[in-house]
Amino acid sequence: MTYDPTRHLLLTPVDREAPLRVRRLRELGLGERPDPALDAFAARLAQVTGAPYSMVNFIDENRQFFAGLHTPDGTHARQDLKSTAAATAAATGGVSRFMARDHGYCPHVVVRRKALVLEDVCDYPRFAGNPVVDEIGIRSYLGAPLIDRTGTALGTICVVDTEPRPWGRAGLETIKSLAAELVEQIHRREDGGL
């Protein structure tokens, strides 16, 4: 994990599996371009959870890529989500498909290999200082890892909101179930069934 001496918090975790993940994503043909099937899956995620934003997120050593993305207005800006780009994306209503690895909560989910429920990120000092809180306005997060048949954590599925959300146990079970469903779709695609 990296340490921020100004805030005295552990931030983005060290990801020793990233090189293996990148190789596996390349084998699967994932993580480098938007995928209409994954956009459809993200839209379904939003519908099932009632969240305004949802993503199918693949993570490499430096950044996150939303191969599947759903936003309330359906727009996806092309800029990266960091400082001024985040402000531009927010002002235009667009959301980028790229985000720095140290932004957001998905890198924690991938390294921990466990689902994460943050009903109000401001209730958790470790997560409240994340740049997505101030730059994008994220207040709640629900995400689960995508662990494939090789044991590789490929990325995550997640939903976020700009308001606190009571995801609860039902939300946790839902996101874990949907992650398992997407992993099965990825396996079928790899086996030539999709």
Residue-range domains of the chain with CATH: 3-190 (3.30.450.40)
CA dist list (Å): 99 to 65, 78, 177, 180, 193: 7, 11, 25, 24, 31
Per the listing, tokens 């994932």 go with 30
Task: Return the DSSP state at 81.
Answer: B
Spell out the residues 6+ positions from residue 106 whose beta carbon is closer than 8 angstroms to its own. Answer: 55, 57, 59, 64, 143, 155, 156, 158
Handedness of CA 28, 152, 68, 89 (dihedral sign): negative
Q: What average pLDDT is seen over the chain?
A: 85
Q: Cβ distance 129 to 140 under 8 Å?
A: no
Give me the pLDDT at residue 3, please.
41
Model-wide pTM > 0.75: yes
Reported as a pLDDT band with limits 50, 70 and 90, residue 17 is: very high
What's the Cα-to-Cα distance from 34 to each of 67, 72, 83, 166, rounded to whole Å? Answer: 4, 17, 23, 30
- Beta-carbon neighbour count of residue 92 at 10 Å? 11
pLDDT exceeds cutoff 90 at 78: no
How far apart are alpha carbons 179 and 175 in whole angstroms?
Answer: 6
pLDDT tens, position by position, 86-139: 433 443 345 689 998 888 899 999 999 999 999 999 998 888 888 788 778 899
Closest CA to 188 of 60, 66, 37, 65: 37
Per the structure block, which two tokens stand in for 95?
């959301």
The C-alpha atoms of residue 133 and residue 59 are separated, in whole angstroms, by 20
- CA 100/CA 83 separation, integer angstroms: 11
Query: What are the tens digits of pLDDT across the range 45-67?
Result: 999 999 999 999 999 988 999 99
Residue 93 has a pLDDT of 45
